[in-house]
Amino acid sequence: MALMELRDVCTYYGNIQALRGISLSVEEGEIVTLIGANGAGKTTTLMSICGIAQIRSGSVTLDGEDISRKSPHSIVAMGLSQVPEGRRIFPQLTVLENLDMGAFLRRDKAMVRVDLEEVFDLFPRLAERRNQQGGTLSGGEQQMLAISRALMARPRILLLDEPSLGLAPLIVQNIFEIIKRINEERKTTVFLVEQNANMALKIADKGYVLQNGSIRMADSAERLLANEEVRKAYLGL
């Protein structure tokens, strides 16, 4: 049984259909990526999973349980955390306060402290700036903070929406290396939505190509990287 599964999910904005029967699965321990052009429906897919965009038909299951009609905070409590596009940290709060917000639903205070140290080990720069306001951090540091805040909820599956957006190439490389470490060292399953298809497919186990609200292609990341159609449309080759 897949850790997370979408079955024939259709989502609308008013009368406009954004997702047209999306089906995909994420197995425990995998990195799965969803790639596609701007406007393909990638963010809507994440919003549908998280309960922010209400799906009209189909289902989303987490570990076999239907979460399609659950509230966003209930879904977080079940072990699913999202790093939204554009980071959306709390700019007036310090780094530490932002991280505390990520652990808001947790009651295991001793483990929260352990996780805080693990986050600072992943991102030493955040440890150096722990008392600095989030809004004064660089774009790359804010992305690190957004990922760390999501990790503080101790998710079983981490959803990432365009983590490379607006970042310099060296920072992008670092962020993707950290995502790989999170998967391997913390044993956290990752569902990665990303326009930088080349970087995403290099760290993923499998991938889905989204086009106009529909899954156009699904295969192992390795085969998608070698696919001529993918290379021309999404890799600029």
Quickly tell me which residue has 């780094």 as its tokens: 95
Q: Is the pLDDT of residue 81 over 90?
A: yes
CA distance 125 to 120: 8
- The highest-confidence range among 107-116, 149-158, 166-175, 226-235, by mean pLDDT, is 149-158
- How does residue 196 score in pLDDT terms, banded at 50, 70 and 90? confident
Q: What was the pLDDT predicted at 111?
A: 84
Which SS3 state, helix, strand or coil, does residue 91 take? coil
pTM for the whole structure: 0.91
pLDDT digits (tens, 9 = 90+) for 41-56: 999 999 999 999 989 9
For 204, the token pair is 């993923």
Average pLDDT over residues 155-177: 90
Q: Residue 147: name the closest of 182, 195, 198 by CA.
A: 182
Q: What was the pLDDT predicted at 234?
A: 78
CA distance 27 to 1: 8
For 4, the token pair is 């997370």
Domain spans of the chain? 1-79+166-237, 86-154
Q: What was the pLDDT predicted at 108?
A: 85
CA distance 11 to 8: 10
Q: What was the pLDDT predicted at 236?
A: 63
Fold category of 1-79+166-237 in CATH: Rossmann fold (3.40.50)
Are the C-beta atoms of 4 and 191 separated by less than 8 Å? Answer: yes
Average pLDDT over residues 67-86: 90
Are the C-beta atoms of 145 and 89 separated by less than 8 Å? Answer: yes
Q: What was the pLDDT predicted at 103?
A: 84
Are the C-beta atoms of 165 and 85 separated by less than 8 Å? Answer: yes
- What average pLDDT does the chain have? 91
Q: What was the pLDDT predicted at 237?
A: 53
